[in-house]
Structure 1
Amino acid sequence: MNQPTLFIDRDGTLVLEPPTDKQLDALDKLELEPLVIPALRDLQAAGFRLVMVSNQDGLGTPSFQLESFEAPQRMMLDIFASQGVTFDAVYICPHFPEDGCDCRKPRVGLVLDELRERRFDPQRSYVIGDRETDLELAANMGTEGILYRRGGADGGLDWPAIAARLLDRERTAEVRRTTRETDVTIRVNLDRSGPGRIQTGVGFFDHMLDQIATHGGFALDVAVTGDLHIDEHHTLEDTALALGQALREALGDKRGIGRFGHDRSQEPPTAPEQETSHFVLPMDEVRAECALDLSGRPYLVFSAEFTREKVGELDTSLVEHFFQSLAQTLGATLHLSVTHSGNAHHQVESLFKVFGRALRQCIRREGHQLPSSKGVL
């Protein structure tokens, strides 16, 4: 599964905790926290799985009978469901603090199956609650905790602020790839632009990576130590593999992205070009074309006949291999071509530029829906 998941406390977070006896044991005590429904609806639509995790002291004992708990609990879940908000699981600890159980928050007994079966992605999941024990539970689960406060009081966040934070968070990733031949570190931030720091040891290749980031509209840092005393093959290959992986990790579940690369600033394309999201970029005497789909299916179609074997220190025969490796780890269907005549520098640079421009359209956020009829990318 490995989904982004919200583990949400109940009393004081989803519903008002009764101020007198702290027990929600009657229907007339049921009151939802302000604006919780629209916030959860938006978060669920953005791909978050919802799980309720609650301590209910002495549930099932004479002081808090099960029947008294069940009626408001069912009503609460019915109200949420009527508004399109559904909980994938509900975990309740019925014990008193002095019982010393393993399931009472902040211990992880309630969510042990979640941890064992890796049902959630720790990097994209959160525990939300109004108590310090909720934040401690987050730490014990290896994820982040968010303190809820009605109206954003006392340094906490209310539901609109929580939704804004989680839906508008920057998409970043850092990947390090180390082999006997190279040591590559890539950092990307898809929601900020450069300038970045790019050092691969191959000057012209640095310039090409900068073209991808500049025209892609994102921040990119690259640091590479490679076996350039042999040649630049491993440096280009491993940088491409690490870059594709970093881009894919930063995209997360890909909800809200454009997915297809295209450019509305060009002249109106023909109907077939609209279907393939065709991007055309002229650079002096050469013309490069790119069609890009972040489909999850790696595939490269490449057409180029370079007029020189080298541009600076870069062997032009490695350009195709760079894009093949990049498409592999990015999970992209990529069609690239450039005119077979002209200045070789322009031929290579136009390919990196046109890819960057297509990538900019693919990664641009346009909402929170998943751009696939299959329900997965």
Structure 2
Amino acid sequence: MGVAPHRTARIERSTKETEISLSLDLDGCGRGEIGTGIPFFDHMLALFARHGLLDLQVRARGDREVDFHHTVEDVGICLGQAVEAALGDKIGIRRYGFALVPMDEALAQAAIDVSGRPFLALRTPDLPPLALLHAGAFPAQLLEEFLRAVTVHGMLTLHLEIRAARDPHHLLEASFKAVARALAMSVEKDGRIVDVPSTKGVL
């Protein structure tokens, strides 16, 4: 029996606001080569690759002098498109994935369904609104913009709950790691699944 080919995709996106080149290997080993011009975002994407066992390359240029929003959102769009393209027919995947990840005092819980129905639920019970928080110069609110772009263009259902946090850096890091690990589980192949994991026959 031969080795199954890696599930890969390459996405290019050019607008008046950003230029992005992204390549993804769902069957990688966690290598990240990231350059967006936003150091904190680079850090989050690198750990997303490591904990999601994805090989991820991102090169982005954007209007950072305006703010970080366009770059972060458009990278999310490209990542979602790459996930959807790399998954192909989705035969044999587990479909569902979940993770509960601590980062010191922060705790984030993510659950993903490769459903074909884009949906994002982000809950932060008992925490200040993300719009009030920053990790250095990076607005925590951009977590929601990034994940919404990934879920819409990746055709994913994602529930993320940040259950505890004091440090915004830890809040964001726990969230990126939890989503990455849930994604890794959901796209993993299971030899017992011989078709699409849905009674409908499609995802």
Same fold, TM-score > 0.5, yes or no = yes
Alpha-carbon distance, 1:208 to partner: 0.8
> Match for residue 245 of structure 1?
81
> Match for residue 53 of structure 2?
217
What root-mean-square deviation, in Å, do the aligned CA atoms of Structure 1 and Structure 2 show?
Answer: 1.6
Given candidates 126, 142, 154, the residue that maps to 1:330 is 154
Given candidates 78, 101, 111, the residue that maps to 1:281 is 101
Matched, 1:321 2:153: no
User: C-alpha distance in 2, partners of 1:321/1:307?
Assistant: 11
User: C-alpha distance in 2, partners of 1:280/1:297?
Assistant: 23
Matched, 1:234 2:70: yes
Specify which structure has the bigger relative contact order, considering alpha-carbon pairs within 8 angstroms and separated by 6 or more residues.
Answer: 2
Q: Is the 8 A contact 1:172 1:189 kept in 2?
A: yes
User: C-alpha distance in 1, partners of 2:117/2:95?
Assistant: 12
Alpha-carbon distance, 1:238 to partner: 0.4
User: C-alpha distance in 2, partners of 1:217/1:242?
Assistant: 18
Structure 2 spans left out of the alignment, 5+ residues: none
Alpha-carbon distance, 1:307 to partner: 9.1
User: C-alpha distance in 1, partners of 2:165/2:83?
Assistant: 32
Matched, 1:376 2:187: no
**Any idea what the Cα deviations from partners look like across 1:195-217, whole Å, max 9, x if unmatched?**
23100010010111112111111
Q: Is the 8 A contact 1:203 1:312 kept in 2?
A: no
Instruction: Tell me the secondary structure at the aligned position of residue 159 of structure 2.
Output: strand
**Any idea what the Cα deviations from partners look like across 1:317-350, whole Å, max 9, x if unmatched?**
1111111111000001100011354111111110
User: C-alpha distance in 2, partners of 1:352/1:239?
Assistant: 14
**Any idea what the Cα deviations from partners look like across 1:75-94, whole Å, max 9, x if unmatched?**
xxxxxxxxxxxxxxxxxxxx
Instruction: Tell me the secondary structure at the aligned position of residue 209 of structure 1.
Output: helix
Equivalent pairs, count: 197
Letter in 2 for 1:295: S
**Any idea what the Cα deviations from partners look like across 1:71-125, whole Å, max 9, x if unmatched?**
xxxxxxxxxxxxxxxxxxxxxxxxxxxxxxxxxxxxxxxxxxxxxxxxxxxxxxx
TM-score normalised to structure 2 length: 0.92
User: C-alpha distance in 2, partners of 1:298/1:307?
Assistant: 23
Q: Are the structure 2 counterparts of residues 234 and 307 from structure 1 closer, same or farther at C-alpha, using a change threshold of 3 Å? A: closer
Alpha-carbon distance, 1:169 to partner: 1.2
TM-score normalised to structure 1 length: 0.50
Given candidates 100, 111, 123, the residue that maps to 1:291 is 111
Runs of 4+ in 1 over 6 A off after TM superposition: none
Percent of aligned pairs with the same residue? 41
User: C-alpha distance in 1, partners of 2:51/2:69?
Assistant: 25
